Amino acid sequence: MDQKVIVRFAPSPTGFLHLGSARTALFNWLAARRHGGSFLLRIEDTDKVRSEQRFLDEILDDLRWLGLDWDGEPIHQSRRFDVYRAKADALLAAGKAYREGEAVLYKVEPGRTIAFDDLIHGRIAVETENIKDQVLIKSDGSAAYNFSCVVDDADQGITHILRGDDHISNTPKQILFYEAFGLVPPRFGHMPLILGADGAKLSKRHGGVSVAEYKAEGFLPEALANYLILLGWTPPGEREILSLADAACLFEIDRMGSVQAKFDPAKLKWMNGEYIMKKPTAELTALLDAQLAADGYDVSRVPAETRARIVEPYKIRIKTLREFGPLADFFFRDDYAVEEEGRKKHLDSAETKALLGLLAARLETLSPFAQDALEAACRDLAGDKGIKPAAIIHPARLAVSGKTRGAGLFEIMELLGRETVVRRLKDASR
């Protein structure tokens, strides 16, 4: 691209930010940052009934959360009705449009071919016989979508328009308006839509479809952004893990695919797990604290230093922030659930209860209360009783955590502390 790249993202505040719209925003941002251009926002809020401030606030928050910034202040279509009407009046005066009641329509000249070179799909041509006269101003005084888009894109100096290929049918109509005003149209690139695993358009039945849903489920913004930009674009070397900054240095529109990309929740979760594993423990702890609080856990009962130590063995075990709570709930509450199968297998017998009581007695005076000493105490008790250590380790794990799996038992015990471990062992021995 030789010219300065000016692109835009134009959300409608009639709902939450859809994954497909987020991907559109990401690709436009990448194009602008790759070429030192501008990424502009336009709020398409002409639907007075469905547009809500809460949706706009959420959309802007989600864009920031994904790591995107924009240049200048967003423009709002709802504040530009006078501009659209003036532009329509100019076409009326030039004889290119006509009134039909309160509405204004553009006269489409028959017998023409409207063609453009799509940046992704190549040459696309449409005959004007297939385009009816276009509404410029509706009977309620508001501007039609295709007309307001052209007026705004021209005023904002947009050079490239990257959007979903569900807009391909709109492009020839918009090109007619550029021609009517004597303007050179921007370059258009239409991205294939995101599909579900079954090949249907991504919808609720495939799982979450909004950025807000993935945020709430504990996905990291950098992981979600990384995954979305790989749906339709292949970086050099076919790298899978790359930051937005890295992607901005590599992005070229001509590496975008023309076939639909399928959304794979399992792949996204894997990628999120990779980012979680690599995140510094201090940063991850802060994120997990917020997730735990949102999910109803009392993080204040565990000192901050201990919380960071708890996170370390679990960061390799979780794929989302939300998965941490159920795995580590026993650190933050005493009313944790005990796995039923494990209880039947390891906790119900009188012999096991007696062993847990003996272990509790030994740990009451153990010094230091640390992993190595805890393991030695457990193995010594097993040796004294002529049994395998597993006969104590499995019941003890269930007693102190309610789980049959997770971080190492003696690591868990050290993190829980003497008072909690002894109390839980005694409770299980009764």
Q: Determine the Cα–Cα distance for residues 31 and 249; give it in Å rounded to an integer.
A: 10
Instruction: Judge contact between 188 and 118, C-beta under 8 A.
Output: yes
CA 49-50-56 angle, to 5 degrees, is 125
Query: Among candidates 13, 10, 54, which has minimal Cα distance to 158?
Result: 10
- Alpha-carbon separation of residue 319 from 153, 234, 237, 268, 275 (angstroms): 41, 24, 25, 9, 9
Rg (CA), the chain: 30
φ and ψ of 233, to 5 deg: -135, 135
Instruction: Judge contact between 267 and 241, C-beta under 8 A.
Output: no
Instruction: Judge contact between 156 and 76, C-beta under 8 A.
Output: no
Tokens coding 41: 């926002």
Token pair 């009517």: residue: 180
Q: Which amino acid is at 82?
A: D
Contacts 24+ apart (CB under 8 A), 177-182: 177/106, 177/134, 177/146, 177/147, 177/150, 177/151, 178/150, 178/154, 180/91, 180/94, 180/96, 180/106, 181/87, 181/90, 181/150, 181/154
* Catalytic choice (48, 87, 132, 204): 204
Instruction: Judge contact between 320 and 219, C-beta under 8 A.
Output: yes
Q: Is 204 a catalytic residue?
A: yes
Strands 194-195, 261-262: pairing is parallel
Q: Which residues contact 372 (CB under 8 A, 6 or more apart)?
A: 410
Q: Which residues contact 335 (CB under 8 A, 6 or more apart)?
A: none
Q: What is the DSSP letter of 256?
A: B
φ and ψ of 32, to 5 deg: -65, -45
Laid out side by side, the sheet with 103-106 consists of 97-100, 103-106, 134-137
So which residues are the catalytic ones?
204
